[in-house]
Chains A and B, each alone.
Chain A
Amino acid sequence: MPGRASGAGAPGAAGNGRSRDGGQVRGRRRERDPAAAVADAHRREWAFVLAATARVAGDIDLAEECVQDAYVAALDTWSRQGIPDNPGAWLTTTARRRAIDVLRRGATLRGKLPLLIEPAAPVPSSAAPGPFPGDDEEIPDDRLRLVFTCCHPALAREAQVALTLRLVCGLTTTEIAQAFLVPEATMAARVTRAKKKISAARIAYRVPGPAELPDRLDAVLTVVHLLYTTGHAAPAGPDVVRADLVERAMDLARMLQSLMPDEREVRGLLALLLLTDARRGTRAGPDGRLLLLAEQDRGQWDRAMIAEGAALVPGALRGGCPGRFALQAAIAALHAEAPSYEQTDWRQIAQLYDVLLSVWQSPVVALNRAVAVAMADGPQAGLAQIEELERDSRLAGYRYLPAAKADLLRRLGRQQEAADAYRCALELTMNTAERDFLTRRIAETGGQG
């Protein structure tokens, strides 16, 4: 990532700056399995495909249906004809054609309120006109438009984030429900309600103008950060890290910084993501085994990313009461620059968590502070704070609470209680690497897996 130029343009997606060979499929088969290619394209290209299709469809639900259809068609077509050179462009073209077909066939949208789309600046194109409207133009990157629409202040914060994860990241309702610690049915209803409001109340599909931008930013930063944390510790599946989500968050953070270079919290968020992501390659062993911060090979941390992130921190902290992203970045910088786990400045980290808790009353922050306190003042002090947090209903179902508790119990030599707590954590995670880690810890503490 360092040195990679991703400004306000289209970071790594199917549109600007890439050759558009959308509808064309090369005859030769790739080494890769088509199903894997479709899954890969789903993770990488969903936001771009949906954002571009929404512009044509004029309706989010229709766009989602068409994009889903395009992914189904991709599995069939790519199996027979091979995987296209640019899967994202293939999917976008297919989804947009479907949307246009549906609109042409007739009255599907009669009585519905169209998505309000402000025209984008015209993009000069030398391509020959295609057979379908929209085919003869460069497909614009509408992902920011999609993000700001999802994060509109007329939507509840929870709905903003849920909708963004669903529409921008293409996460399933199950994954979003886990990220938010709510039942799946609740999350499904939340997403449906939010989509209905966008259309019924006529929330425009646009990026806010300069005057509105500051007010609209915090929700977007929250969304980008959540997107990152979802990728950083994937709620389900075989990998600890979903690199695509992490990279998408990083791209969005860079994009936001180029839009609002003077905004301290944007800088703080970008710094936080860089400093955290510098450790990405060391969070799992060669066998996919989850490695804790204490076990990670610090020599493998990405020093260029750490330097870039740490350089952003002073500017993010300076000039009044620092925001929550700047404070988290400062904590991440202390971790990233520490020579070892033991030689980390845990006392200063605990103090920064105190400040953070004063600007952001989150039980997850309080849990992290408890872990820092355990390192600064011993596991007993940390355990007392965690036991207090167990009474907070907002953390019910949060898998890192019993996992952190189990670790402190283990360090205190209370093996049986530790095994019980590891079992609680095991019941709460569907991530394979995390499950393996917890199962090993249960065995080590003498319990039965």
Chain B
Amino acid sequence: MAEYMILIYEDENGYATASPDVFQQVMEAHNRFAQHVDAKGGKLVAGNALQPTSTATSIRGDVVTDGPFAETKEALGGYYLIEARDLDHALDIAKSCPARFGGVEVRPIMVFS
């Protein structure tokens, strides 16, 4: 098994304007995803949602600036760290990761040994 990070990139406006119903659906989808990882034979190591990029602070060199590192339409909004057998397995799991207003990126964790 190897570790993969599933990075969830979404348009933050989607959540900024979402109704309580939509939030409820998103929460339920994430709960289902956690069960789904187990059912697929993977393992959920960690996962978190992030506050929106309006709360981000960037540091380049020693210069501190307000805002995210790069302004993009779809911003990093959360992540899961999973264990999977190989890339196909990780992608199979990541396909069911909720990302209603965007998509996900799957990156292998670098192993130092």
Q: Which of B28-86 contact A (CB under 8 A)?
A: 85-86
A204 in the interface (beta carbon within 8 A) = yes
Give the segment of B7-15, B16-24, B105-113 that binds chain A. Answer: B105-113
Query: Which of these binds chain B: A49-57, A110-118, A256-264?
Result: A110-118
Judged by a CB distance under 8 angstroms, whether A154 is at the interface is yes
> Is B108 a contact of A204 with CB atoms below 8 Å?
no
A416 to B111, CA, bound (A): 63
Pair B111/A203 contact, Cβ less than 8 Å = no
A residues in contact with B91, CB < 8 Å:
154
Query: Counting CB contacts under 8 A, is B27 at the interface?
Result: no
23 A/B residue pairs, CB under 8 Å, sorted by A? A110-B113, A111-B111, A111-B112, A111-B113, A113-B111, A116-B85, A154-B91, A200-B108, A200-B110, A201-B87, A201-B106, A201-B108, A202-B2, A202-B87, A202-B108, A203-B86, A203-B87, A203-B88, A204-B86, A204-B87, A204-B88, A208-B88, A212-B88
Interface size on A, residues (CB 8 A): 13
Q: How many residues of B contact A (CB 8 A)?
A: 12
Query: Which residue of B is nearest A199, CB measured?
Result: B108
Partner of B87, one of A110, A154, A208, A212: A154
Q: How far is the CB of A212 from chain B (nearest CB, A)?
A: 8
State which residues 175-204 of A face B: CB under 8 Å: 200-204
* CB-nearest residue of chain B to A198: B87
B2 cross-chain contacts in A, Cβ below 8 A: 113, 202
A residues contacting B by CB (< 8 A) are: 110-111, 113, 116, 152, 154, 200-204, 208, 212
Residues of A within 8 A of B85 (CB): 116, 204
| Distance, CA A116 to CA B90, complexed state (A) | 14
Find chain B residues with CB under 8 A from A201 CB.
87, 106, 108
For the complex formed, measure the closest distance between the CB of B106 and the CB atoms of chain A, giving whole angstroms.
8
A202–B111 Cα gap in the complex (Å)? 12
User: Shortest distance in angstroms between A210's beta carbon and chain B's nearest beta carbon?
Assistant: 14
B112 touches A202 (CB 8 A): no
Given contacts A154-B87, A202-B86, 15 further A-B contacts (CB under 8 A): A111-B112, A113-B2, A116-B85, A152-B87, A201-B106, A201-B108, A202-B2, A202-B87, A202-B108, A203-B88, A204-B86, A204-B87, A204-B88, A208-B88, A212-B88
Residue of A110, A113, A212 with most chain B CB atoms under a 10 A cut-off: A113
Q: Provide the residues of chain B in CB contact with A200, threshold 8 Å.
A: 108, 110
Contacts of B112 in A (CB 8 A): 111
Q: What residues of chain B lie closer than 8 Å to A152, measured between beta carbons?
A: 87
The interface residues of chain A lying within 8 Å CB-to-CB of B113 are 110-111
CB-nearest residue of chain B to A205: B86
CB–CB A116/B86 < 8 A: yes
User: Which 9 A-B pairs rank lowest in CB-CB distance, beginning with the nearest?
Assistant: A204-B86, A202-B86, A201-B108, A201-B87, A203-B87, A116-B86, A111-B113, A202-B87, A202-B2
A204 to B88, CA, bound (A): 8
Residues of A within 8 A of B87 (CB): 152, 154, 201-204
Q: Which residues of B contact A202 (CB under 8 A)?
A: 2, 86-87, 108
Q: Complex: how many Å from CA A154 to CA B88?
A: 9
For the complex, give the distance between the alpha carbons of A241 and B13 in Å: 57
Closest chain-A Cβ to B73's Cβ sits at a distance in Å of: 22
Q: With A and B bound together, what is the CA distance between A108 and B44 in angstroms?
A: 32
> Contacts of A203 on B, CB cut-off 8 Å?
86-88
Q: Please indicate the chain B residues that have their CB under 8 angstroms from the CB of A154 in the complex.
A: 87, 91
- Collect the chain B residues with CB atoms within 8 Å of residue A208's CB: 88
Q: Specify the chain B residue showing the minimal Cβ separation from A116.
A: B86
Residue of B nearest to A152 (CB): B87
Report the Cα distance A154→B87, complex, angstroms: 9
Q: Which residues of A contact B88 (CB under 8 A)?
A: 203-204, 208, 212
In chain A, what residue has the closest Cβ to B1?
A202
Which residue of B has the minimal Cβ distance to A111? B113
Report the minimal beta-carbon distance from A189 to chain B, rounded to whole angstroms: 20
Query: Which one of A111, A116, A201, A212 has the greatest number of beta carbons of chain B within 10 Å?
Result: A201
Closest to A153 in B: B91
Distance in angstroms from A310 CB to nearest chain B CB is: 38
Q: How far in angstroms is the closest Cβ of chain B from A217? A: 16
| Chain A residues within 8 Å of B86, by CB | 116, 202-204
How distant is the Cα of A203 from the Cα of B91 in the complex, in angstroms?
A: 11
A208 and B88 alpha carbons, distance in the complex (Å): 10
Most chain A beta-carbon neighbours within 10 Å: one of B91, B110, B112: B91
Alpha-carbon distance A154/B94, docked complex (angstroms): 13
Interface membership of chain B positions 88-103, coded 1 if the CB is closer than 8 angstroms to chain A and 0 otherwise: 1001000000000000
CB B4 to nearest CB in A, in angstroms, measures 8
Cβ distance B93 to chain A, nearest Cβ, rounded Å: 13
CA A111 to CA B111, docked complex, whole Å:
8
> Which residues from chain B contact A111 at a C-beta distance below 8 Å?
111-113
Residue of A nearest to B109 (CB): A200
- Chain B residues positioned under 8 Å from A204 (CB to CB): 85-88
Quote the shortest CB–CB distance from A387 to chain B (angstroms). Answer: 39
Closest chain B CB from A109 CB (angstroms): 11
Q: How far is the CA of A433 from the CA of B108 in the complex (A)?
A: 48
